[in-house]
Structure 1
Amino acid sequence: MLAAARATFGEQGTEASLREVARRAGVGIGTLYRHFPTREALLEALLADAFDTLHAQAGELARTREPGGALVTWVRELAVGSSRYEGLPASVLAALHDPASDLHASCKRLGSAAADLLSAAQQAGEIRADLTPGELLVAVNAMAWAAKQAAQPPDRYLNLLLEGLAARQAT
């Protein structure tokens, strides 16, 4: 079922028909719902490894890189992952604000990782002090969405975003 979801969401986005996912998996819709009672539960299962990897990567980067570089590297990985499926940024942002969502806990872990990296980069004076972790996640997901809409890799949009996040010296 996960392979079918990966293929379907890859072609049609995260709002694709769950009936189509079940059909591709060769199961009935009831079987799909028994394993994944909500679309978010299916997304959680599909993205769990990627979310776990991003969370672990944040810790590793914090230990091995200077704060600004750690944040930039992590944000790039998050942006690439967020542009994997059409509609994924919206699903992640909605889950962040919905504690009842099956995706909420994983998204909160990403938010925690972002907060730790952002705080360190802000304390080092490398990232603007007025940015919140929530704003960072919204900005990265918005950039990933824009890149997907323009059918472009997220690099250009990400560079613009990161330049805007950099701390500025008072003149």
Structure 2
Amino acid sequence: MTAEATRPMRADAKRNYDRIVAIAKEAFAEHGVDVPLDDIAKRAGVGAGTLYRHFPTREKLVEAVYRDEIDQLASRAAVLAGELPPFEALEAWLEEQVEYVIERHGLAAALKASIDSGSETFVWCQTRLRTACSDLVTRAQSTGALRPDVTGVDVLRLGHGLGTAAKNASEDDKARLMKVMLDGLRG
């Protein structure tokens, strides 16, 4: 790693970086990951040079957006664990995961397609989600509210599957499917 890579960003550079990622997330959701990068720079209020200094390739910007979204979802697990009893925290997080899958289905697929499954970003995102979910699972199991044979990976896969299945379902059907899944997970 170079000295430049380890040096912390100046405050203005960090603001520009964060603004570019936020605008890119919106643009990717609206128009897909092929939206012109100059449009993102313009919407973010920065020059193309600033965008390319932070993200020399489209793939680097896609990775930053994907990391940011996964980090936000994973961070919610700790927040919910601090606010709710163990099983309720897991349930609330699962509902957020399912909503993420439903809302970002196309975007997530495009982002994943742009990121190599063995890449540092993919591994980091996978580890971040698995750790967050496993912590919730362990807490719920410690109270006897969750089956002891369930793993965090199981819950992640179930949530993803439910999100995919409920993408075009009514709210009632989605709620029913969530209840069936949660009932199956209870200890």
TM-score (norm 2): 0.63
Structure having the higher helix fraction is 2
Q: Distance in 2 between matches of 1:109 and 1:125?
A: 25
Between Structure 1 and Structure 2, how many residues are aligned?
Answer: 158
Give RMSD over aligned pairs: 3.6
- Greater Cα radius of gyration, structure 1 or 2: 2
Structure 2 alignment gaps of length 5 or more? 1-19, 43-47
2:72 equivalent in structure 1: 53
> How many angstroms apart in 1 are the aligned matches of 2:139 and 2:36?
42
Q: Which of 149, 159, 166 is the matching residue for 1:130?
A: 149
Matched AA of 1:125? G
Deviation at 1:72, TM superposition (A): 0.8
Please list every run of 5 or more consecutive structure 1 residues that lacks an aligned counterpart in the other structure: none
- Where in structure 2 are the equivalents of 1:23-62 lying within 5 Å? 24-25=39-40, 35=55, 37=57, 39=59, 41-62=60-81
Query: What secondary structure sits across from 2:158 in the alignment?
Result: helix
Structure 1 match to 2:132: 113
The TM-score with structure 1 as length reference comes to 0.68
Contact 1:10 1:86 in 2 (8 A): no
In structure 2, the residue matched to 1:86 is 105
What is residue 6 of structure 2 aligned with on the other side? none
Per-residue deviation at 1:140?
Answer: 0.6
Q: Say yes or no: does 1:157 pair with 2:174.
A: no
Given the superposition, is the C-alpha separation of residues 88 and 2 from structure 1 closer, same or farther in structure 2, using an over 3 Å criterion? same
Shift of 1:118: 0.3
**CA drift at 1:71:** 0.8
Q: Distance in 1 between matches of 2:175 and 2:36?
A: 31
